[in-house]
Amino acid sequence: MVKHIPNMITSLNLLCGAVAVLFTVSGDLIIAAVFVMLGVFFDFFDGLSARLLKAQSPIGVQLDSLADLVTFGMVPSLVMVQMLQLAFYGEIRPLTELFSARAWNVGIDSYYPLIGLLILVASAYRLAKFNVDTRQTTSFLGLPTPANALLILSLPMIFEFQYTHTIETIMFNKWFLIGLTLVSAILLNAEIPLFAFKFKTWDFKSNKQRYLFLVLCIVLLAFLKFLAIPVIILFYIILSLIWKEAAA
């Protein structure tokens, strides 16, 4: 029974992702973001429980990637599609209408929001590469899909809870969203070494960098709230590069 606990937790991540997809398609991006954050919680603890219980398995690795593709690949991709709809057309329309140019009477323009699906493709490639890349056992190469998902999902949360006219102007600029989509796809698969939150023990000496980064995250979240998420992602990349250089 113990050996199934990590896979059960991974399944909860997958369930959160499936529910988030439904809310995203219906246009409720805030509730979708909440379920993605729950998915991040389960994604952290499935790996931790597998290591602590010594219940790691090939099936668990594959199930984890499949769950991540839904929660951290499909959801942020669809969220970007919805946000691009707002940027291009000023409203969220049913996704089925994306394939009905005649119904919109706007020709090829109706397909522009589908650019957001690049995030899904890049996430799938990143997860497939991770499963066969022996260099990523203790660290990452490229931005992990959960971090990328939080980056994308932070946008509707910032707009909803920390609204300013400046934020609205930037966030729903179509070129900003297209640029963010492309940057997201690149970061997911870039050969950038990033430290991983894989705790094998809880002592400070072995996890000094992780604990220091967690403290930084808490401070930023306390002061900036949801605006802290993009800042945290940026610091995550910068500090990973600095600490790698220091270690070398």
Of 88, 108, 118, the closest CA to residue 185 belongs to: 118
CA distance 75 to 155: 13
Name residue 2's amino acid. Answer: V
Residue 56, Cα to own-chain centre: how many angstroms?
A: 23
Q: What is the dihedral of CA 124, 71, 232, 208, to 10 degrees?
A: -90
Query: Structural domain boundaries of the chain?
Result: 2-195
| pLDDT one-digit tens code per residue, 29-81 | 999 999 999 999 999 888 777 677 676 778 878 899 999 999 999 999 999 99
CATH class for the region spanning 2-195: mainly alpha
* 3-class SS of residue 202: coil
* 3-class SS of residue 195: strand
pTM (predicted TM-score): 0.90
Of 77, 15, 78, the closest CA to residue 46 belongs to: 15
| pLDDT one-digit tens code per residue, 171-211 | 999 999 999 999 999 999 999 999 887 766 667 777 788 88
In the prediction, which pLDDT does 216 show? 93
In the prediction, which pLDDT does 109 show? 61
